[in-house]
């Protein structure tokens, strides 16, 4: 699996200046991914990618994506404030949260963000706490009408969104309150490698827009297809063909809006993973080897730095620097140092023989990686570094210190 643009020499030179573990992101890769997604929807009027802030909540990354034309999709007050600090405000900002507290609605209204409601019950609450917005969108949960996938689960078991009947009630209520601008949203899958799934979601939403528009006599200006585009975590996986996905969505769009007299809505997505996921690397050092019933390689990083393998059993490819082409003659459980047996980056992974002090690179951690870090067992979150297009390596978040860990304790 490719290390580019990080060759072994570059990573060694970064590791000589910054103690491992650390995350290293590739600016050019992230910009390229944002462009590829936008190119797939170049045919759509005013397509916008609202980058899902939770995937990689760092203002340096939000800013470079904003330069590519991306907005920000936020699901908490701190995420809204982070996007604001990165200069993303107004209708480049989208609030898609759930079980939403009043302060989020207030902040979203102050910032002029588009608001996507997770419940019909939230409409009156929003108006009471934050006033009547001009624009309202609802998150649709198709329930048994659609299958979900492993990460997000089956739609009818998912806490997100509103039912089909509630969409009709919700928009009617919003219209009656004086809302004049409408959007529709769904996010049904996560890490989905089949482009047919996004196309099916698009078709479902376009048909709903037609039906809702006709029944309620309202016009939809925005259809948001959500995020959830997968990335090839395993060497044998292929990336989603975004261009083919765009062609499929276009066919559904034309079928619903071409020559029907309906105003064609703008399209949006709120992807995180496909934009930043492949362009982040976790660099760690082999600390100890241990052999009992199995062979273990203990890294100086742990599940506190990357939760996905422990939480979802997710596969992340590993490279041993300097041994990229060496035969994988050993099998290791590659572990951290948490007192949790699921603190493993890989189980029974075939790797070249390892030695303490060697650098191991964990691939495809640019999204939902550092962001999911935690402090259990007194583990500290590590630094984030960004390889700039000009070759500079910039520290964009320092590592936590013991003082940070103690900062909230009332002694």
Ligand X SMILES: *Cc1c(COP(=O)(O)O)cnc(C)c1O
CB nearer to ligand X: give 151 or 347: 151
The catalytic residues are 339
Q: How many residues at the interface with ligand X, by CB under 6 A?
A: 18
* Binding letters toward ligand X, positions 265-284, x by CB under 6 A: -----xxxx-----------
Q: What is the closest distance, in whole angstroms, from the C-beta atom of residue 148 to ligand X in the complex?
A: 13
CB nearer to ligand X: give 59 or 227: 227
> Pick from 52, 126, 365, 385: which binds ligand X (CB under 6 A)?
52
DSSP-assigned beta bridge partners for residue 320: 360
Q: How far apart are CA 270 and CA 71, in angstroms?
A: 9
CB nearer to ligand X: give 51 or 206: 51
Q: Is 141 in the site for ligand X (CB under 6 A)?
A: no
CA angle (357 as vertex; 351, 362 as ends), nearest 5: 50
CB-side neighbour CA atoms (13 Å) of 66: 22
CB nearer to ligand X: give 119 or 229: 229
Q: What is the closest distance, in whole angstroms, from the C-beta atom of residue 70 to ligand X in the complex?
A: 12
Q: What is the closest distance, in whole angstroms, from the C-beta atom of residue 144 to ligand X in the complex?
A: 21
Q: Is 314 in the site for ligand X (CB under 6 A)?
A: no
User: DSSP 3-state assignment of 119?
Assistant: coil
Q: How far apart are CA 238 and CA 280, in angstroms?
A: 18
Range in contact with ligand X (rule: CB under 6 A) among 47-55, 81-89, 106-114, 240-248: 47-55
> Pick from 29, 170, 226, 369: which binds ligand X (CB under 6 A)?
226
Q: Show contacts with ligand X in window 85-104 (CB under 6 A).
A: 96
CB nearer to ligand X: give 160 or 220: 160
* R_g (Cα) of the chain, nearest Å: 23
Cα first-last separation, the chain? 48
* Binding letters toward ligand X, positions 184-223, x by CB under 6 A: ---x--xx--------------------------------
Q: How far apart are CA 115 and CA 135, in angstroms?
A: 7
CA angle (339 as vertex; 336, 344 as ends), nearest 5: 35
CB nearer to ligand X: give 214 or 312: 312
Q: Is 227 in the site for ligand X (CB under 6 A)?
A: yes
Helices (H), ranges, 101-221: 102-111, 121-130, 164-177, 195-216
3-state helix, strand, coil in the chain (%, to 5): 35, 25, 40
> Pick from 167, 184, 286, 367: which binds ligand X (CB under 6 A)?
367
Q: Is 73 in the site for ligand X (CB under 6 A)?
A: yes
Most distant CA pair in the chain, distance: 71
Q: What is the closest distance, in whole angstroms, from the C-beta atom of residue 347 to ligand X in the complex?
A: 24
CB nearer to ligand X: give 141 or 256: 141
> Pick from 5, 18, 54, 380: which binds ligand X (CB under 6 A)?
54
CB nearer to ligand X: give 73 or 300: 73
Q: What is the closest distance, in whole angstroms, from the C-beta atom of residue 105 to ligand X in the complex?
A: 16
Q: Is 369 in the site for ligand X (CB under 6 A)?
A: no
CA angle (382 as vertex; 377, 384 as ends), nearest 5: 155
Q: What is the closest distance, in whole angstroms, from the C-beta atom of residue 71 to ligand X in the complex?
A: 12
Q: How far apart are CA 183 and CA 267, in angstroms?
A: 10
Q: How far apart are CA 23 and CA 362, in angstroms?
A: 9
User: DSSP 3-state assignment of 198?
Assistant: helix
* DSSP string over 27-96: HHHHHHHHHHHHHHTTTSTT-EEEEEGGGS--HHHHHHHHHTT-EEEE-SHHHHHHHHHTT--GGGEEEE
Q: What is the closest distance, in whole angstroms, from the C-beta atom of residue 56 to ligand X in the complex?
A: 9
CA angle (231 as vertex; 230, 236 as ends), nearest 5: 120
> Pick from 170, 228, 264, 309: which binds ligand X (CB under 6 A)?
228
Q: What is the closest distance, in whole angstroms, from the C-beta atom of residue 274 to ligand X in the complex?
A: 6
> Using CB under 6 A as the criterion, which residues of the chain lie in contact with ligand X when the complex forms?
52, 54-55, 73, 75, 96, 187, 190-191, 226-229, 270-273, 367
């Amino acid at each position: 699996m490719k290390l580019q643009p990080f060759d072994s020499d570059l990573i060694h030179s970064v590791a000589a200046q910054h103690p491992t573990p650390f995350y290293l992101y590739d600016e050019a890769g992230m910009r390229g991914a944002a462009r590829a997604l936008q190119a797939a929807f170049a045919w759509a009027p005013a397509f916008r990618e609202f980058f899902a802030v939770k995937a990689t909540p760092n203002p340096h990354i939000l800013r470079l994506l904003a330069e590519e034309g991306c907005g920000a999709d936020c699901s908490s007050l701190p995420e809204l404030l982070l996007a604001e600090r990165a200069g993303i405000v107004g209708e480049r900002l989208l609030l898609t949260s759930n079980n939403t507290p009043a302060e989020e609605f207030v902040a979203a209204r102050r910032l002029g963000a588009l608001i996507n409601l997770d419940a019909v019950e939230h409409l009156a609450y929003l108006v009471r706490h934050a006033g009547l917005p001009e624009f309202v969108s609802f998150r649709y949960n198709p329930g048994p009408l659609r299958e979900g996938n492993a990460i997000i689960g089956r739609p009818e078991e998912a806490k997100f969104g509103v039912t089909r009947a509630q969409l009709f009630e919700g928009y009617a209520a919003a219209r009656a309150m004086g809302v004049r601008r409408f959007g529709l949203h769904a996010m049904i899958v996560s890490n989905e490698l089949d482009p047919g799934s996004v196309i099916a979601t698009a078709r479902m939403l376009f048909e709903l827009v037609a039906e809702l528009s006709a029944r309620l006599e309202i016009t939809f200006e925005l259809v948001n297809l959500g995020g959830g585009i997968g990335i090839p975590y395993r060497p044998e996986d292929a990336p989603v063909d975004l261009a083919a996905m765009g062609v499929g969505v276009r066919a559904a769009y034309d079928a619903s809006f071409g020559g029907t007299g309906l105003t064609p809505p703008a399209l949006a997505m709120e992807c995180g993973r496909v934009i930043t996921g492949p362009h982040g690397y976790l660099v760690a050092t082999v600390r100890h080897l241990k052999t009992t019933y199995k062979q273990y390689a203990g890294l100086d990083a742990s599940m506190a730095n990357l939760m996905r393998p422990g939480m979802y059993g997710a596969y992340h490819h590993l490279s041993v620097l300097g041994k990229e082409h060496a035969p994988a003659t050993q099998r290791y459980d590659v572990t951290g140092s948490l007192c949790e047996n699921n603190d493993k980056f890989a189980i029974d992974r075939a790797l070249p023989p390892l030695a303490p002090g060697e650098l191991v690179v964990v691939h495809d951690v640019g999204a939902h990686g550092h962001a999911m870090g935690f402090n259990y067992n007194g583990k500290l979150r590590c630094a984030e570094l960004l390889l700039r297009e000009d070759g500079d390596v910039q520290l964009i978040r320092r590592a936590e210190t013991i003082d940070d860990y103690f900062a909230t304790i009332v002694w």
